[in-house]
Amino acid sequence: MADPVLLAVASRATSVADCRHLLDMLGLLPTVTEAESALPQDDQEHGRMSTYRHGCRCQDCRNANARRHKQWRHRAAHNPQSADRAGHGNASTYNNHGCRCEPCTEAHMARINAYRAARKAAAA
């Protein structure tokens, strides 16, 4: 389900960068992905991490990002010390290092709950 506000912004934006700028001003940037994926693709080269980092959320760029994260997580999962280095009790340690210790799981759940509450508040 797309957020009507985001879609309205996306339909008015002239480019991905413009869209991000508008959303940034509205304080909506963290939930921007749906709106950006609805934008027409421009003719820059896609399917790269750099375009993803510049805010493109087209399928090619998302795939590039997912591939990179998968590789990174794979490496991290086979190196238990990486979770220790990152520190426990963090949602990022849970996600990126595959740690399922109690503090990391709690932090992960807290982040999900906060995200859901924010979505609910935005929808209301």
Closest distance to Zn ion from the beta carbon of 123 (Å): 28
Which of 101, 114 has the CB closer to Zn ion?
Answer: 101
Task: Name which of 115, 81, 76 is nearest 96 in CA terms.
Answer: 76
Q: Which residue, 102, 96, 32, is CA-closest to 68? A: 96
Alpha-carbon distance of 98 to 106, in angstroms, equals 13
Candidates 6, 19, 35, 56: give the one binding Zn ion (CB under 5 A).
56
Contact set for Zn ion, span 59-78 (CB under 5 A)? 61
**32 binds Zn ion per the rule CB under 5 A:** no
Residue nearer to Zn ion on the CB measure, 15 or 118: 15
List of residues 6+ apart from 87 with CB closer than 8 A: 93
By the criterion CB under 5 A, which residues form the site for Zn ion? 46, 51, 56, 58, 61, 88, 99, 101, 104
